[in-house]
Structure formats: structure tokens, C-alpha cells
Amino acid sequence: MNIRTIVGKNLRHQRVQKGWTQEKLSVRSKVDVYHIGKIERGQTNVSIDILEKLAKKLEIPYSALFLDS
């Protein structure tokens, strides 16, 4: 599995665990919902700045997005 797929899978898992839709995460993090969808599908390279915004709003450590389980 490549890193984009791992990050996307972990982002989706964390979002769903909170019971949030992509739209809710988008509003809270100010990251476009279309971009969140592409990140979760592993279809885009994502900047560290965006990962920081998403992790902060999900209240998770940044490292949680990189875990390969």
C-alpha cells in the first residue's frame, strides 16, 4: 500500500469514528470537501499544512494518519 492510500484510509477511519461526514470535516477544517474525498481515496498528494488542519480538527496526533495497520 502506498502512503497516499494509507493516509486516506486513516483519515476516513478517524472521520467515521467521530460520526462526521466529509462535509462536516470540510466545514470545520476549511478544506474543500472535494479535496477531502480525493485524499480519502488516495488520489492526490496532500500537503503537510492540510494534514495538520485535518488532524487538529479531528483531535488526533498527526502520526495517526501515517499508521500502516
Section 27-50 average pLDDT = 97
Backbone angles phi, psi at 24, to 5 degrees: -65, -45
Section 21-25 average pLDDT = 98
- Which pTM does this prediction carry? 0.94
Q: Which domains does the chain have, with CATH numbers?
A: 3-65 (1.10.260.40)
Report which residue type is found at 3. I
- pLDDT band at residue 1 under the 50/70/90 scheme: confident
- pLDDT band at residue 7 under the 50/70/90 scheme: very high
CA distance 44 to 24: 20
- pLDDT band at residue 69 under the 50/70/90 scheme: confident
30/1: higher pLDDT: 30
